[in-house]
Structure 1
Amino acid sequence: MKVSSTEVQNNFGKYLAIAAQEDVIVTRNGREIARLTAVGESDAGVVAERRASYEFGNHGGRKAAFDEFQALSKDGSEERYEYIDGEIYAMASPTTDHQTALMELAVIFHGWSQGKSCRPFVAPYDIQLRRIERLEQLNVVQPDLMIICDLEEHLAEDGYYKGVPALLVEILSESTRRKDLLRKADLYMRSGVKEYWIVNPFSKEIMIYRFADWEIAENVTFRLGETAKSYIFEGLLAELNRVFR
């Protein structure tokens, strides 16, 4: 099956399910750019993107042991990295559109959280996640924005949160959109995150996924002129004209 990148972005849940049965080839301007395919039996239930090997320097993944990731993250540099499914990803510097959307959403989330036990946090803030089917593999990500409802329960002695946020937000950039749309979406779904917002400054859309029982339960796309609404948090609303102003 061949579908456009825009169609996949707008209906990610649908094509994630289809990819478990047959390959989905993603096109842009008529050119094949990616493929969604079900991985082998050892990783049953996980949908991955079959892609060429990336060089580490252009924000793609590079296979590495977790010890190497830890050493790289503690080398004193200002560079930030994520570790997903045994690969290190260098994080790109955010654009103005990215930061505008992040600041607006952070203000909205902060206002919503007043008087509630759930609290929003913004990057950089390491979150450690484990897939349900691969509990021995630790992943470390830095979502742009998140809502945590069990901070006291999972706050470790080193001052870092060790639980699973209820809601995560990623704002797409040119260099991270594949990772955020595919690999991170799958990781979050299989790690117990309840809701995932994908904020797209290019199409000025917000896609929201609700996860349940390690699968996509619901998803919806909001566009300019509309107001994004959380599935799991009553009253958490974001006007897209404000987010993408």
Structure 2
Amino acid sequence: MATELTIFNDREYTIEDYMKIDDGQRYELIGGELIMVPSPKPRHQRVSAKISFQFESFLRQNPLGEVYYAPIDVVLGDQVVQPDIIFISDNRLNIVGELNIQGAPDLVIEVLSPSTASYDKKKKGQIYLKYGVKEYWTVDIDAKIIDVYKVGEKQWQWLGSYDEEDTITTQLIPGLEIKLNEIF
């Protein structure tokens, strides 16, 4: 079982190549490179599940869209990524296909792991920006902080860092409040 990113860059990989892979591993396709992503650790999964639960509980009572969580393929141009958690507003659910999500979710959340943190924040963050994600959250489970960014003209606009004492809201889902003391 891989604990670090393994990058296959021996040739230019395509979405067609990606779709043929069936070896039980998790991959992403970025810039023609095939990236084998290690399985998340239990603590990562626990935090991710708690965040997802908050979204699902709220959306059950307020049907404003749908939340999905890894592993799920999100196709953005010729890239395929697997964010930890995504939200798609109800007026954009047409991007949900039979096999994958075909277009930018409204909100992407990445729970950072030591092996993928810089990759998630830099490379994937730029892809999310380029393809139209409206809001991007990075969750640092060690520091117990969530950084929130919203789309700007040419780069992400940092809205702030939130810790266990805070409650996060988003204009994308009016009324949703995530109390971070229930997450960390």
TM tier, shorter chain? 0.7 to 0.9
Aligned to 2:76: 129
The one-letter amino acid of 2:95's match is H
Aligned to 2:55: 109
Between the two structures, name the one with larger relative contact order (CA 8 Å, sep ≥ 6): 2
Q: Which has the larger radius of gyration?
A: 1
Does residue 213 (structure 1) correspond to residue 160 (structure 2)? The answer is no
> Structure 2 residue aligned with 1:144, among 80, 84, 87?
84
For residues 100 and 45 of structure 2, the distance between their equivalents in structure 1, rounded to whole angstroms, comes to 24
Aligned to 2:120: 180
For residues 21 and 81 of structure 2, the distance between their equivalents in structure 1, rounded to whole angstroms, comes to 18
Q: 1:225 and 1:117, CA in 2 relative to 1: closer, same or farther beyond 3 A? A: closer
Aligned to 1:95: 41
Q: 1:213 and 1:95, CA in 2 relative to 1: closer, same or farther beyond 3 A? A: same
Q: SS of the residue aligned with 1:66?
A: coil
Aligned to 1:164: 104
> Structure 2 residue aligned with 1:119, among 54, 66, 69?
66
Q: CA deviation at 1:231?
A: 4.1
5+ residue gaps, structure 1:
1-55, 131-137
Q: SS of the residue aligned with 1:171?
A: strand
5+ residue gaps, structure 2:
none
For residues 82 and 105 of structure 1, the distance between their equivalents in structure 2, rounded to whole angstroms, comes to 23
Aligned to 2:168: 228
For residues 173 and 7 of structure 2, the distance between their equivalents in structure 1, rounded to whole angstroms, comes to 33
Q: CA deviation at 1:228?
A: 2.0
For residues 116 and 100 of structure 1, the distance between their equivalents in structure 2, rounded to whole angstroms, comes to 25
The one-letter amino acid of 1:129's match is L
The one-letter amino acid of 2:86's match is M
The one-letter amino acid of 2:165's match is G
Q: 1:118 and 1:62, CA in 2 relative to 1: closer, same or farther beyond 3 A? A: same
- Scaled by the length of structure 2, the TM-score of the pair is 0.87
- Scaled by the length of structure 1, the TM-score of the pair is 0.67
